């Protein structure tokens, strides 16, 4: 319930306002500035009714204290007609409004109710803003980095319109997830979401796939077929890898975007369609336009609202959250060891989020029990990630120089031995050292072949 603070030294005014406003909220009473400060320290009021003239410190002093202490509640100043100039001064100090005594009770109640409603709206807006800032997921997109929070905010704004969107980013960054989130948050959410990978459909079939065809339009067209654009009527069409489209199909798509009409293959009759278009590519379409591979007019049509997804290596703070999300979606309650997490966070992820998801699936398939360790991850990730983790631990002073060098040397030798099936002679040749030196290093670092099953020539130096 809203909290109303009445600050007035007159007992009659206190009781009148308590009775008047008890239906609007919890009414607290303070007879002077010190009592008012004690009340605000217990709980911040939603509205303050403040008399300017009181024994001791004045209402103006209380306004100054509110400013210093960050109390942001709207203040209605209660003032006599001969102190209106003081009320004006109070407004300069941040008061929301003033009324003169004697005041009309019902008018004052309506004024307080309006301020409470405005305050409630402001608090809701602030709550929603904080929720967006703290959000770590939108649809199936996950991230706590500022880069991803910016994407979340952009998607929420974009979804409200029908503008054509171009989502760019490296392969595996989650471009279809952005398209799906735009659809799900839009007024078209109840309509279909139709996704087409333009690069996965043969050039001779893409036109029919998008626009449909009439019976007999070409050899094998035994029936009329509805295309993907028409199937998305009332919803969203997602065209992934739009940069792969054949130039002839680009012309027809341009017309569909401009006029919201198209013809099926083999038909001269136009069909109207109500569809929102979201496109995506991992190419630089501006460079494709300059090279003559993509129509300039179509580029400007699809790039009305651009959204660029950052690669995973530029938002490493999201790796742990993503990994845990993929584990939770898989079920089973399995966890990653600290070493496995260090490898994941240290890896560069050229395949982005898709590669991370595949790495988690790999770990789930190979792990024993409920724990995924570093050795359960793909070899490239385990080795590279551990090396990056070691560098970072050294930079932060968590490992000494000698220990870091020893760990690096251990990993390099172990990887070389594994790649040569633990044959010491071939491993030494590949490293450019003698077998004797390799054996000395193995003994020093405590590296042993699994099961001691080493097929090698013991006499070779």
pLDDT tens series, the chain, 461 aa: 899 999 999 999 999 999 999 999 999 999 999 999 999 988 889 999 999 888 889 889 999 898 888 888 899 998 876 667 777 888 888 888 888 888 888 999 999 999 999 988 888 777 766 665 556 888 899 998 999 999 999 999 999 999 999 999 999 999 999 999 999 999 999 999 999 999 999 888 898 899 988 887 777 777 888 899 999 999 999 999 999 999 989 999 999 999 999 888 888 888 999 999 999 999 999 999 999 999 999 999 999 999 999 999 999 899 999 999 999 999 888 999 888 888 898 888 999 999 999 999 999 999 988 999 888 998 777 665 555 666 656 666 766 787 778 877 887 888 788 878 889 999 999 889 999 999 998 988 888 877 654 445 544 44
**Distance between CA 23 and CA 207 in Å, rounded?**
67
- For residue 444, give both structure tokens: 């020093």
Return the pLDDT at 157: 93
- For residue 58, give both structure tokens: 């004045």
- For residue 292, give both structure tokens: 């003559």
**What is the dihedral sign for C-alpha 303, 200, 289, 246?**
negative
Return the pLDDT at 460: 45
Return the pLDDT at 389: 61
Sequence-ordered list of residues with C-beta below 8 angstroms from that of 98, at least 6 positions apart, any chain: 76, 77, 78, 79, 84, 87, 90, 91
Return the pLDDT at 7: 94
Sequence-ordered list of residues with C-beta below 8 angstroms from that of 278, at least 6 positions apart, any chain: 164, 165, 167, 178, 179, 182, 183, 236, 237, 238, 239
Yes or no: say if 381 and 319 are a contact pair by the CB < 8 Å rule. Answer: no
Element (H, E) at 425: helix 424-431
Helices 401-419 + 379-395 axis angle, to 10: 170
- Buried/exposed code over 17-29 (b: 16+ C-beta within 10 A; e: otherwise): beebbeebbebbb
- Other beta carbons within 10 angstroms of residue 67's beta carbon come to 12
Helices 424-431 + 401-419 axis angle, to 10: 120
Return the pLDDT at 396: 65
Return the pLDDT at 383: 60
Helices 424-431 + 435-445 axis angle, to 10: 100
**What is the dihedral sign for C-alpha 7, 11, 13, 18?**
positive
Closest by Cα among 58, 44, 99 to 77: 99
Yes or no: say if 217 and 265 are a contact pair by the CB < 8 Å rule. Answer: yes
**What are the chain's domains?**
3-129 (3.40.50.2300), 141-308 (3.40.50.300), 316-452 (1.10.8.60)
Helix, strand and coil content of the chain, in percent to the nearest 5, comes to 55, 15, 35
Model confidence, pTM:
0.60
- Buried/exposed code over 173-210 (b: 16+ C-beta within 10 A; e: otherwise): bbbbbbbbbbbbbbebeebebbbbebeebeeeebbbbb
Beta bridge partners of 169: none
């Amino acid at each position: 319930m809203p909290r109303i603070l009445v600050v007035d030294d007159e007992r009659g005014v206190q009781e009148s306002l308590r009775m008047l406003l008890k239906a609007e909220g919890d009414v607290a009473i303070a007879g002077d500035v010190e009592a008012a400060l004690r009340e605000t320290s217990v709980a911040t009021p939603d509205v303050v009714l403040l008399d300017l003239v009181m024994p001791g410190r004045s209402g103006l002093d209380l306004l100054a204290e509110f400013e210093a202490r960050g109390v942001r509640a709207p203040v209605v100043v209660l003032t006599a007609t001969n102190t209106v100039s003081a009320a004006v001064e109070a407004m300069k100090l941040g008061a929301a409004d003033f009324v003169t005594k004697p005041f009309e009770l019902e008018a004052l109640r309506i004024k307080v109710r309006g301020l409470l409603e405005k305050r409630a709206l402001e608090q809701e807006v602030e709550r929603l803003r904080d929720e967006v800032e703290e959000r770590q997921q939108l649809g199936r997109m996950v991230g706590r980095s500022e880069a991803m929070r910016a994407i979340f905010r952009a998607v929420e704004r974009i979804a409200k319109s029908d503008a054509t969107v171009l989502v760019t980013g490296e392969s595996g960054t989650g471009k279809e997830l952005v398209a799906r989130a735009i659809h799900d948050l839009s007024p078209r959410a109840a309509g279909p979401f139709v996704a087409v990978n333009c690069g996965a459909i043969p050039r001779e079939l893409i036109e029919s796939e998008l626009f449909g065809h009439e019976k007999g339009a070409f050899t094998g067209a035994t029936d009329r077929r509805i295309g993907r654009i028409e199937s998305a009527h009332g919803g969203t069409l997602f065209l992934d890898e739009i940069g792969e489209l054949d130039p002839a199909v680009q012309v027809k798509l341009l017309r569909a975007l401009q006029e919201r009409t198209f013809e099926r293959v083999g038909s001269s009759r136009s069909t109207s369609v109500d569809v929102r278009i979201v496109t995506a590519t991992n190419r630089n379409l501006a460079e494709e336009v300059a090279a003559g591979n993509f129509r300039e007019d179509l580029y400007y049509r699809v790039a009305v609202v651009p959204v660029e997804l950052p690669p995973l290596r530029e938002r490493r703070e999201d790796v742990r959250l993503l990994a845990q999300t993929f584990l939770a979606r898989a079920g089973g309650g399995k966890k990653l060891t600290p070493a496995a997490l260090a490898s994941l966070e240290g890896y560069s992820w050229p395949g982005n989020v898709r590669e991370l998801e595949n790495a988690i699936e790999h770990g789930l398939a190979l792990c024993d029990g409920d724990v995924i360790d570093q050795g359960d991850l793909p070899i490239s990730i385990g080795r590279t990630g551990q090396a990056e983790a070691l560098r970072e631990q050294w930079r932060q002073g968590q490992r000494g120089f000698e220990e870091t060098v020893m760990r690096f040397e251990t990993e390099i030798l172990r990887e070389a031995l594994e790649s040569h099936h633990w044959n010491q002679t071939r491993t030494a040749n590949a490293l450019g050292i003698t077998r004797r030196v390799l054996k000395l290093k193995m003994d020093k670092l405590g590296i042993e072949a699994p099961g001691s099953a080493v097929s090698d020539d013991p006499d070779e130096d």
